[in-house]
Amino acid sequence: MLSGKSAIVTGSTSGIGLGIARGLAASGANVMLNGFGDSGEIEAIREDLANGHNVKVLYSGANMADENEIAGMIAGAEDAFGGVDILVNNAGIQYVAPIEEFPVEKWNAILAINLSSAFHTTRLAVPGMKKRSWGRIVNIASAHALVASPFKSAYVAAKHGIAGLTKTAALELAEHGITVNAVCPGYVMTPLVEKQIPEQAKARGITEQQVISDVLLAAQPTKRFVTVEELAALVNFLCTDHARSITGTALPVDGGWTAH
């Protein structure tokens, strides 16, 4: 379905990003992985994807808070693959605290990784996409790109920013065969969400089980976590020609959360 295309998926050594990378590779796309983790485990993932799907799979450890490292990653993918056709901006971090106690360094890091990195990858990948008159940019936002929650000032601000960046880029690129969309998941049981649970418990003065039942899943009428596979399937579809008329959208995959 995506044979001959090449993709970069940021933040793809675990969780949602890895699921998306697996889906793209299974559809025939070459993939550049990106993220942190144990080098042996990352190499095992890279080999598994490459051998299992007969595609080229590379890895970049570029820090998404560093625009120079981002530029190096994009250039490396273009050299190795001959171009970047698909860009999935998934890298993200989270921190939970009352706004008056929110550490400034955490604010700066979240804005850099969750928002500015998507600007840098997009500005660097677009020239090649324009030359080929084809491109797919998918920004993994959040239900928090559409609604807010307490104690997440930086994350909510960054994800609202991603929604705006998505719309603006979509309008600019609409006549160049390039679509730009945001996928807005509700709660997915990933390492990022697992880390939030004790932080939320501390911030709210409740137990971790209460965070799961009364805070996280309370927002989702389905009362279940969104799965990585569901998100990967949607991203895959958005990267096909069947989705060429879908652009500038923020697509909730949130169990009905934002229908409230």
pTM beyond 0.85: yes
Residues 6+ apart with CB under 8 A from 44: none
Nearest Cα neighbor of 256 from 223, 215, 232 is 223
Q: Are residues 84 and 137 in contact, defined by beta-carbon separation less than 8 angstroms?
A: no
pLDDT in tens, 210-219: 999 898 898 8
* Range name among 51-65, 94-108, 153-167, 201-215 with the lowest pLDDT average: 201-215
Instruction: State mean pLDDT over 24-37.
Output: 98
Beta bridge mates, 47: none
pLDDT in tens, 170-194: 999 999 999 999 999 999 988 778 8
pLDDT in tens, 82-92: 999 999 999 99
Residue 126's pLDDT is what? 98
Q: Which of 59, 95, 155, 187 is catalytic?
A: 155
**CA distances from residue 184 to 133, 222, 228, 257 in whole angstroms, order as listed:** 26, 16, 12, 11
Residue 155 a catalytic site member? yes
Q: Are residues 55 and 30 in contact, defined by beta-carbon separation less than 8 angstroms?
A: yes
Please tell me the total number of residues recorded for the chain in this structure: 260
Instruction: State mean pLDDT over 13-25.
Output: 97
> Domain 6-186+227-251 belongs to what architecture?
3-Layer(aba) Sandwich (3.40)
Nearest Cα neighbor of 88 from 6, 174, 187, 185 is 6
For 117, the token pair is 């990195």
Residue 95's pLDDT is what? 93
Residue 191's pLDDT is what? 75
pLDDT in tens, 218-247: 889 998 999 999 999 999 999 999 999 999
Residue 216's pLDDT is what? 87
Instruction: State mean pLDDT over 49-73.
Output: 98
Instruction: Give the amino acid at 116.
Output: S
Domain boundaries, the chain: 6-186+227-251, 188-225
pLDDT interval class at 79 (50, 70, 90): very high
- Other C-beta atoms within 10 Å of 52: how many? 12
Which is more confident, 196 or 176? 176
- Sheet order of strands, 30-34 included: 57-60, 30-34, 6-9, 86-89, 135-140, 178-185, 250-253
Residue 189's pLDDT is what? 84
